[in-house]
Structure 1
Amino acid sequence: MAKQLDYNTIREIFRRFHAVDPEPKGELDHTNAYTLVVAVALSAQATDKGVNKATRDLFAVADTPQKMLDLGLDGVMEHIKTIGLFRQKAKNVIKLSQILVDEYGGEVPNSRAALQSLPGVGRKTANVVLNMWWSYPAQAVDTHIFRIGNRTGIAPGKDVDVVERRIEDHIPADYQLHAHHWMILHGRYVCVARKPKCATCIIRDLCLFEDKTL
């Protein structure tokens, strides 16, 4: 596990990320808070590209909890059958849609605890929704962020909870809102798991990773 970078170095890293991409966006297609919840829940152990392909037609006919319930379990499964674990995910989508209709008037709550109470919605999914829809500086730690946090020294930790806390503690407040998107995109396209693209990395001189591929 890498050592923790100092505050000034971390600030410079995110200054560079900001300079290249001031308003980074998530890559899951959605039209409202509900479709965002569903898309993020479906993205577990699946690629954003694969989820977007499946939800394009799904959201065209079911972009609210009630419309999803009207579509029914079989209808949901038919739309998302190309996604891994689609049967269980379809069941979760129907269950969470029913809860949203019964308990929240068909609206998505903007509380982490309420979001996490929905079937198929964990802390990571809740944080993504809070961040992307309500612009709350929540940090959704996925495999990319966990790798980047440890590899670079931005937020080292033995598990996702530790990495999340260190992001909150060590990344300057003015960069918190977009921090997880910058890290996800950096991990997805530059600091990849195998053979990271260090030669083209804009933070290679600041990163603590010892096995750089130059």
Structure 2
Amino acid sequence: MTAKQAAQRPRGARTRAAQVLSALETLYPDARTELEFRTPFELLVATVLSAQATDVSVNAATPALFAAYPDAQAMSRAEPEDIEPLIRRIGLYRAKARHLAALARLLLERHGGEVPNDFDAVVALPGAGRKTANVVLSNAYGFPAIAVDTHVGRLSRRLALSTQTNPDKVEADLQALFPRKRWVFLHHALILHGRRVCTARKPDCPGCVMNPFCPKVGVA
């Protein structure tokens, strides 16, 4: 982090980060992704599907999807129109069906059908991005990463850990504040807290253990 970036950090952020981490470790000691998967390929597909959709809706659709297309080789033979009926209840399903068909073909052409353990290679896949790469690499391969979704971004601003709205900049702020070995846990625990307590519209501030040290800045 540069001196300029450090100067832009909210006052007391480092002390507050330690308090946040301690609270999250108490609340969610076994925090992990709620997407259901068995292989890196299934995780990649589920993560692509989860964009602007709930994990619940993705988990409801993927058993049938993976039964029909258990790996990249099988999915590479599918057309988007074949995939669409299996994911119809997920938001943006037509675009995601196109992404999945193209993604499977690229995995076969470039990586022998396997999901690469390489950040740039995952980002280059259709429908993937920085958040997708972080989720896949951290959960499938143990790569230290912080995936910033709407929950992580919202809580980072409310807890004054970051003032940024750009996910990449929020990620950089969190990486500077938290131990590298706790990055994967952190983003899973923040997501759980954002879903269960610090929700977007009606955060349960009175019932939140972070209330004593939460500055409650912003509601973004």
Counterpart CA distance in 2 for 1:89 and 1:49 is: 17
Q: Which amino acid aligns with 1:75?
A: D
SS in 1 for 2:106: helix
Q: Which moved more, 1:107-116 or 1:61-70?
A: 61-70
Q: Which residue of 2 aligns with 1:158?
A: 165
Please name the residue that 1:28 is paired with. Answer: 35
Partner of 1:95: 102
- Quote the offset at 1:9 in angstroms: 2.6
Unmatched tracts of structure 2, length 5 or more: 1-7
Q: Which consecutive segments of 4 or more residues in structure 1 shift more than 3 A?
A: none
Deviation of the 1:71 alpha carbon = 4.2
Matched, 1:57 2:93: no
Question: How has the CA–CA distance of structure 1 residues 4 and 26 changed in structure 2, closer, same or farther, with 3 Å as cutoff?
Answer: farther
State the partner residue of 2:18: 11
Q: How does 1:1-214 map to 2 (within 5 A)?
A: 3-209=10-216
- 1:39-94 C-alpha deviation (Å, 9 max, x unpaired): 11011111111111111211122120011123443221110111111111101101
**Structure 2: distance between partners of 1:165 and 1:159:** 10
Verify the 8 A CA contact 2:47 2:132 in the aligned structure 1. Answer: yes
Q: Gaps (5+ residues) in structure 1?
A: none
What RMSD, in angstroms, separates the aligned Cα atoms of the two structures? Answer: 1.9
User: What is the TM-score when the length of structure 1 is the normalising length?
Assistant: 0.92
Contact preservation (8 Å) 1:3, 1:208: no
Q: Distance in 1 between matches of 2:190 and 2:200?
A: 13
Cα deviation for residue 175 of structure 1 reads 2.2
Which letter maps to 1:5?
A: G
Query: 1:177-209 deviations in whole A, cap 9, x for unaligned?
Result: 311111111111110011201122121111110
In structure 2, the CA distance between the partners of 1:159 and 1:165, relative to structure 1 (3 Å rule), is same
- Partner Cα separation in structure 1 for residue 147 and residue 182 of structure 2: 14
CA distance in 1, matches of 2:164, 2:172: 9
Distance in structure 1 (CA, Å) of the matches to 2:13 and 2:90: 41
2:122–2:128 Cα contact (<8 Å) kept: yes
Provide the secondary structure at the position in 2 that maps to 1:83. coil
Identity, % of aligned pairs?
Answer: 37
| 1:79-127 superposed Cα distances (whole Å, 9 cap, x missing partner) | 0111111111101101010011111011000111000100000111111
Q: Which amino acid aligns with 2:132?
A: T
CA distance in structure 1 between the partners assigned to 2:46 and 2:116 by the alignment: 16
